[in-house]
Structure 1
């Protein structure tokens, strides 16, 4: 088991340091912008990975070499081959894999599902092996470089001490949805019909807004605006060459600390209001809503089932059911499910059981995914997938990539939607889909 090399550095805002790494290969920033001791304590910054695991339309590749194993088996093998000691008292990601798993990777986990192979927006999975990471503890206001050698730490520290790169324009206009309002409301009504017919209990239906990326547009400049407009606990910026991703997600898919698994599904949303009385009324309406609580409980049951496949019998618990969390633009109902992994199981098995997250598919999961594909008629890319890290020290944290913008092939894409149940009203669901992306769209304004 390897012993990581550590070095304390001056604690500067991670997104400001990302400006100094702009242009470096495969830049990854995982940032807690809305900070708290339990959910928003740590941030991580890395670039120039040692190796890359990629799944695309032609297969699974490790550093460009085709692999016969699937990606989750490779993740398990990489974890076993690169085990390193966890250093207590430091931020939990101390080197390992970081990047994204696209929502569309879920199709590979359910080969019997009737889901078309849409032309992909991006690779289905891209995880980089970072052997050197800048890690930040916002509660202590301290930062470290954690690496496999003093030489790689020297290199990253020199880059972090460099001059910040200039930012370009962040504005994009001319957005168009893949649905008209009437079409989206009919899609919601059709989903309700599936529910009433007994096909599903719930499905998450979204609409995609797209626009041409203008000359000179700077995705990192956009992220810098987004993090202020919509501070989130699980924010991220990634520049992977052919695709850039800016996320301001409030939702965790999975965390694993080497002993306990935690999932935090979000179901139930109300907008925020600047007037304290109206805001309090919106909270009261959300917490009293039978529809929203039923939606949340259904997804909790789905996740309990997912986690039970890879957890020790009797360890799946629900310490929080429909708890209230408030963010810059919305209030949410959030539940917490915990468990202990079975002996002989690792994060590869855990992702295989729980991905994609039930809160952005619906229940039952496979049939909901089929209905989503039939209604949306498009891939989702990174949106509704996961962004985060899988540490070689046994620690993992993956978000659900909602409130997320994707930039690829000359097109910017933003998606928003919600969970549809038998009680859903099409007009209200349309308005909620716009509420979900309100701060994203504000960040694109000049």
Structure 2
């Protein structure tokens, strides 16, 4: 599919362009948030797809590389993603990197689909680009024209009322006891840090759909890596603020560059600007939060070094405060170059699961997490696109809800849901403060599920 055609069309909101396809297997919307993101994407009708269950003996990273295929050309003035693969990597895919004997949920370790056509939404120029790829220019043109037709389908009716009647949450005292246990293990020298999470569960209200949650979050608290992915019997809704791994090419060719932006360090939003300023200053000056962030920066430097030429790993930015709808975060940036002959699939193998949601040292932290939490499934995994040209973008699946359809109840109210929120535990962590941090992180999801939608 070495030919690519781009057709420009008038602007349409990407969320509502995606809504008509919300029940189609492997339909996916990736929507940029309020942090300067320019491009959003709608993908459907893949020409190849597969899921890797826990008992599948294939090498997932080799299978991913084969699905992406050899590098192909893209239009230089087009969006970063012009066709390729979308993938959902559950947290337990990490058991394929380090054999830890992790238990599994019903979610696949890895689910991937390859798309020869897509819609790209340019938030800057307020236009839509229909993109088609094919073995001939006429075939690529036909695919682009077909993708343009996706915009003509009417959107389904929105759900009116709260999406969820009630949520159940893990016992807070039990969570504080788990945090205290991790602190003891850190003091004892077993680990330096571990990310421990709590779980919220519930059911969607009758007539509510997972896509309604996605749309509600986009309205109330847009995030840089919002996404909706439909799988058979399952749906993923993510409102993630965190980049995992990004791979880009240099203008005019040359080495591929890698960027990761781990988040560690959190404060809730204040009631007004003055209180926000106090909380931002407190976060910026916090020795605990800076140390927590730096541990993960060092971990990510080590992960990137596995696939980078010696001396190419650098840290251009440490401890920048970013503000979101409910929280302030400390964000750092680590960059490097991808070694010659390696691909994004090699990078994913080297760095998965994300260090910011495991801890340090990573392998021992994962063992501690497995002792204290049920299997995570999509939570703390990654959602990614892998472009035909070798480019790659991925998010850490925090602020994310996994939904499963009840086979026995397909009346519109048959969706079970689970969401988690965690905190990075270090030697001077206070168990109650860490519990409150999980609740601050979950606040946007709670409101989206329990409050009537904003119009």
Query: Above 0.5 in TM-score?
Result: yes
Q: Superposition pairs for residues 3-402 of structure 1, below 5 Å?
A: 3-36=3-36, 40-59=37-56, 69-81=58-70, 83-111=71-99, 113=100, 115-118=101-104, 120-148=105-133, 149-168=140-159, 171-177=163-169, 179-258=170-249, 259-376=256-373, 378-402=374-398
Q: What is the TM-score normalised by the length of structure 1?
A: 0.93
Name the structure 2 match of 1:65.
Answer: none
Considering only aligned residues, what root-mean-square deviation do their CA atoms show, in Å?
Answer: 1.4
Distance, in Å, in 2 between the alignment partners of 1:435 and 1:101 is 26
C-alpha displacement of 1:264: 0.3
> Which residue in 2 is equivalent to 1:64?
none
CA-CA distance at 1:57 after TM superposition: 2.6
Residue 142 of structure 1 deviates from its aligned partner by 2.4
Structure-2-length-normalised TM-score: 0.91
Map Cα deviations across residues 323-380 of structure 1 (whole Å, 9 max, x no partner).
Answer: 111111111100000000111111111000111110000000000001001011x111
Alignment of 1:428 with 2:433, yes or no, is yes
Q: Is the 1:35–1:138 Cα contact (8 Å) retained in structure 2? A: no
Point out where structure 2 has 5 or more consecutive residues left out of the alignment: 134-139, 250-255, 406-414
**Count of aligned residue pairs for this structure pair:** 429
Secondary structure of the structure 1 residue equivalent to 2:356: helix
Deviations 1:405-431 (Å, cap 9, x if unpaired)?
110144211100110000100000000
Asked whether the equivalents of residues 46 and 114 of structure 2 are also in contact (C-alpha less than 8 Å), the reply is yes
Shift of 1:214: 3.5
Moved over 4 A (4+): none
- Structure 1 gaps of 5+ residues are 60-67
